[in-house]
Amino acid sequence: MALLYLSTPKRAAVWQKVFADVGEEMVIGEDAVKDPAAITHIACWYPPVDIARYPNLRVVISVGAGVDQIPALPGGVQLSRTVSSQIDRMVREWVVMATLMLHRGMATYIDQAARQVWQAHAGTAMRETTVGIMGTGRVGLPVARTLIDLGFNVCGWNRSGRPVEGMPVYGERDLDRFLGQTNLLICLLPLTDQTRGLMSSTFFEKLPIRSRLVHAGRGAQLDMDALHAALQEGRIESAMLDVTNPEPLPQGHWAWSDPRVIITPHIGSVTDYEEGARHVLAVIKADRDGCEIPGRVDQNLGY
Ligand code: GLV
């Protein structure tokens, strides 16, 4: 079994050391592949264009938490996304920061500070604010727990309505009910055929007036024009986006200069080089032992 790793030289140097320490074989870059038949695992963000070149490929591993950039794989090839407690912590950190910022009206205060305006605004107590989290999996759950501990009312939404201890959870059929009580919406959903374009004008109309949006899912889930209209109507009061549509957000886009919108350039989570390498080692070991691979993605569901 050999791993083909497609990444930058800086990352590759760290991975090489981690792999050498445990005596695991690794090839860096397609140009270095002598025998394509020896490649059984590929770790990458984008897979090789000609994936059929690797007849014995068993698993493709996304070096990030998302897998939406990976096209359909040949039959029998498994897909894994990188799971690590470091990624979970980083996403939680960004989402909790964004939630608190919007909750305390920071979009307004950042704008006021740029104009040297000293003016206070009344806020709402946490216990009177319902935070609705879309996506209650590995990343969403710790976010929910932290926000509950801080004192927010928290509810969750996932496709199947799978219950989660300690908070009400709504499913696909109850989306309107979920949105109707959400004052601050957090999107942490993976990008799938079902979630592409989900946040549209009809979606935003279901939210109470003066809601806030924290988006750390995928840019393609958000209709930016619909967001603009919802901001103009006051349906949404402010938004903090780590992902945008398109990405990168082009210069001159309305969202850059709208004082109600705070943007970060998709930095919610960045996989630590060493943790990424360790995840791949764990995948290779599990595959060799005939066990379920960590981070296994159901390729029909897309997550
Ligand atoms: C970042 O968005 C990732 O998928 O790791």
How far, in Å, are 32, 34, 132, 158, 172 from residue 182 at the CA level? 52, 55, 5, 14, 15
| Sequence-distant (≥ 6) Cβ neighbours of residue 226 within 8 angstroms | 199, 200, 201, 203, 204
pLDDT at position 185, please?
A: 99
Token pair, residue 231, equals 């901001």
Is the pLDDT score of 299 beyond 90? yes
Report the pLDDT averaged over residues 94-123: 98
70 CA to centre of ligand 1 in angstroms: 12
CA–CA distance, 235 with 80 (Å, rounded to integer)? 38
Report the pLDDT averaged over residues 134-140: 96
> What structural domains and CATH numbers belong to the chain?
2-84+271-297 (3.40.50.720), 86-263 (3.40.50.720)
99 lines ligand 1 (CB under 6 A): no
66 lines ligand 1 (CB under 6 A): yes
Confidence of residue 1 (pLDDT cuts 50, 70, 90): confident
The pTM (predicted TM-score) of the whole model is: 0.96
Which residue type is seen at 302?
Answer: G
pLDDT at position 276, please?
A: 97
pLDDT at position 106, please?
A: 98
DSSP 57-82: --EEEESSS--TTSPPPPTT-EEEE-
Question: Which contiguous run of DSSP H or E holds residue 253?
Answer: none
pLDDT at position 47, please?
A: 97
| Sequence-distant (≥ 6) Cβ neighbours of residue 13 within 8 angstroms | none
Pocket test for ligand 1, best of 247, 269, 303 (most atoms within 8 A of CB): 269
For 232-278, the pLDDT digits (tens) are: 999 999 999 999 999 999 999 999 999 999 999 999 999 999 999 99
pLDDT at position 303, please?
A: 95
User: Strand, coil or helix: what is 40?
Assistant: strand
15 CA to centre of ligand 1 in angstroms: 19
pLDDT at position 89, please?
A: 97
Token pair, residue 92, equals 């939680």
When the pLDDT of each residue in the chain is averaged and rounded to a whole number, the result is 97
